[in-house]
Amino acid sequence: MGNCLEDLGYAVVANLPLPMLEAFLHDPVDLTGGRDRIAVVADLRAPDFATEAVRLWRSIDRSTIAPTLVFLESSDDALVRRFSETRRPHPLGTERPVLDEVRRERALLADLRGEADVVLDTSDWSVHDIRSFVFRQFGRDTGHEPAMAITLLSFGFKHGCPPGADLQFDVRFLPNPHFVPGLRASTGLDQPVLDFLAAQPDYADLVDRLAELLGFLLPRYQQENRSYLTIAVGCTGGRHRSVAVVERLAGALASSGWSLQRVHRELEREGR
């Protein structure tokens, strides 16, 4: 959860000893260099946490900060499974079976749970579910949701498909400028190639349909809290058709408000 909050621009402080945490909470903005979005992550690993956490929470000066207490819990079965999978010891020790320690921890934190503003049962949650909750609860409503980094990538199939592409489109059905006299040495960035493609009946229609499809897909990828999305467009050599389509598609998406970068893989290999 701390990593998700960092992605939203929070200053994240984890597992400070209770005396240091108490001092920190008296003036957190000053101690974080003026940051006003601060997350404190704490659990039983902090000495005396079970006995002092409620007192510490109640002692916070609400006139200077507006804290939210989020309490994470899971079922006994889920916690036992996680400790088994990670092979990490329970914070209360290894003298007794892990299920006993889980239940003792639950009892020790019962009063703190009662103070919580939000209680999350993460028994059936994946890391993606947690990320979605954090972004919904602490990002979107405050305008701090991180933007999805979109890359439009042109490439040539004869040089191999780009690894890691999320979406891939093949535009080899368009007539190839490579075989047109005078255009072989040019690229999809050059006006003669653009003029040739613009004269093809499917070119503009292709870009319009791709832009419409991406206009549908991109908001939905954004809702899934994707940090990166790579859209690859390929032709045979990666120098003419795919380059031109990426350039025109980038313009269409930018006009719809999407921020993105363009990468022409084969042209970069040639130093162009």
Whether 22 and 138 map to the same domain: the answer is: yes
Statement to judge: residues 224 and 136 lie in one domain: no
Residues 158/199, Cβ–Cβ less than 8 Å: no
Pair (154, 137) in one structural domain: no
Regarding whether 133 and 168 lie in a shared domain, the answer is no
Q: Are residues 53 and 103 in the same domain?
A: yes
Query: 239 and 196, same structural domain?
Result: yes
- Reported as a pLDDT band with limits 50, 70 and 90, residue 144 is low
What is the predicted pLDDT for the residue at 11?
A: 85
Q: How confident is residue 145, by pLDDT bands cut at 50, 70 and 90?
A: low
Q: What is the mean pLDDT of residues 137-150?
A: 67
Whether the predicted pLDDT of 140 surpasses 70 = no
In sequence order, which residues have a C-beta less than 8 Å from that of residue 31 and are 6 or more positions away? 24
SS3 (DSSP) at 218: helix
- % pLDDT > 70, the chain: 97
User: pLDDT digit string (tens) for 87-128?
Assistant: 888 888 888 899 999 999 999 999 999 999 989 898 888 777
Q: Are residues 124 and 251 in the same domain?
A: no
Q: Name residues whose C-beta falls within 8 Å of residue 10's C-beta, 6 or more positions apart in sequence.
A: 35, 37, 38, 39, 138
Question: Could you say which of 87, 120, 142 is where a domain stops?
Answer: 142
pLDDT for 181: 93
In which band, very low, low, confident or very high, does the pLDDT at 208 lie, cut at 50, 70 and 90? very high
Q: Which of 16-20, 88-92, 132-136, 208-212 has the highest mean pLDDT?
A: 208-212
Question: In this predicted model, what pLDDT tens digit does every residue of 11-50 receive, in sequence order?
Answer: 888 888 888 888 888 778 777 777 778 888 888 888 888 8
Judge if 95 and 178 occupy the same domain: no
The last residue of one of the domains, among 93, 116, 142, is 142
Pair 18, 107 in one domain: yes
Residues 153, 138 share a domain: no
Mean pLDDT of 146-163: 90
| CATH code, 84 | 3.40.50.300
Range of the domain at 197: 149-269
Same domain, 118 and 7: yes
CA-angle at 36, arms to 33 and 40, nearest 5°: 90
Q: Classify each residue of 153-185 as buried b or exposed e, where b means 16 or more C-beta atoms within 10 Å of its C-beta.
A: bbbbeeeeebeebebebebeebebbbeeeebee
3-class SS of residue 6: helix
Tell me what the mean pLDDT of segment 186-194 comes to: 97
Decide: 64 and 111 in contact? Cβ < 8 Å. no
Whether residues 256 and 200 share a domain: the answer is yes
Q: Provide the domain count of the chain.
A: 2
Lowest mean pLDDT among 97-106, 117-126, 175-184, 241-250: 117-126
Which pLDDT score is estimated for 185? 94
Taking a C-beta distance cutoff of 8 angstroms, is the pair 206, 233 a contact?
Answer: no
Q: Which of 142, 169, 193 is the last residue of a domain?
A: 142
Out of 73-82, 165-174, 206-215, 222-231, least confident range: 222-231
